[in-house]
Amino acid sequence: MELVSENRSFGGRQAVYTHPSNTCGCEMTFAVYLPPQAEERKVPVLWYLSGLTCTHENAMTKGGFQEHASREGLAVIYPDTSPRGEGVADDEAYDLGQGAGFYVNATRDPWKPHYRMYDYITSELRSLVLDHLPLEDCHGITGHSMGGHGAITIALRNAEMFESVSAFAPIAHPTNSDWGRKQLSAYLGDDETAWSNHDSTLLLEEHGWKGDILVDQGASDQFLELLKPESLAAAMARRRQPGQVRMQKGYDHSYYFVNTFASDHVVWHADRLN
């Protein structure tokens, strides 16, 4: 890990690191907020997965998580959304390729050599931060849009690794949405049975979740037809899954929406991690 930048924030420190990734076959960047409590003891971890076109930096600078994480004694880790650099496959469209890893392990060329964001999040980066930072092996996960999709699917498939899961405006049913079908077919191929492991609605119906789930969705979100929160809410009802899908009147898909409800999510995770 190479330290790129470090800034004092709400008594803690906001840092950015790079490291060579064997999983993605390129240099990767991530950010981490360490609360002041981390100077005296190890602290629980909240993972924040970002959405399409984002890097580690967007939520770090716009999400407003640091103040709440400082108060609650949580570290927040912000991974990048895809591999990057020369030799890494890309696409002219904003919703495929670099900035749009969709938190899957690609099985098709040209994506297969680098696009392994599922393993990167669940294995490589997790081990790296636990080895080098003052973190408890106690984790919650959240995310926005594509990152909300990643947070829920990763948690549902790895219940032993996470104690809590929430999401902001997740892509909730990607196998039935243009935000999903395009990317899953590109990365995984045309066999739709391979897509179900990356669909929150289908995974929840099949496996459920050991605790409760918190989802916030802007009722004025311009991408509602692509996100399909009603599919996830219906699956929760059918499964009798504890949790909430909260439709927030007047809110859109922006970081103003994320920032508004960041405190709710940090406190919610802290209650389940501390």
Average model confidence (pLDDT) for the chain? Answer: 97
Distance CA 205, CA 83 (A): 31
Helix (H, G, I), strand (E, B) or coil at 4: strand
**pLDDT number for residue 92:** 95
In the chain, pLDDT over 90 holds for what percent of residues? 100
Split at pLDDT 50, 70, 90, the class of 274 is confident
The catalytically annotated residue of 56, 253, 265, 269 is: 253
Average pLDDT over residues 40-44: 98
Q: Which structure tokens are listed for 129?
A: 């931060």
Q: For this structure, is 200 an active site residue?
A: no
The catalytically annotated residue of 145, 166, 200, 231 is: 145
Residue pLDDT, tens place only, 189-201: 999 999 999 999 9
Distance CA 193, CA 106 (A): 15
Residue pLDDT, tens place only, 49-106: 999 999 999 999 999 999 999 999 999 999 999 999 999 999 999 999 999 999 999 9
Split at pLDDT 50, 70, 90, the class of 173 is very high
Average pLDDT over residues 115-140: 98
Q: For this structure, is 173 an active site residue?
A: no
Nearest CA-CA partner of 152 in 207, 101, 88: 207
Distance CA 180, CA 95 (A): 10
CB 222 within 8 A of CB 251: no
Distance CA 150, CA 52 (A): 11
Nearest CA-CA partner of 173 in 100, 113, 212, 223: 223
Q: For this structure, is 221 an active site residue?
A: yes
**pLDDT number for residue 84:** 97
Provide CB contacts within 8 A for 1, sequence distance 6+.
17, 18, 19, 128, 132
Residue pLDDT, tens place only, 222-272: 999 999 999 999 999 999 999 999 999 999 999 999 999 999 999 999 999
Nearest CA-CA partner of 265 in 236, 234, 240, 244: 244
CB 91 within 8 A of CB 85: no
Residue keyed to tokens 């498939």: 157
Split at pLDDT 50, 70, 90, the class of 18 is very high
The catalytically annotated residue of 221, 231, 265, 269 is: 221
Report the alpha-carbon angle 221-164-49, nearest 5.
50
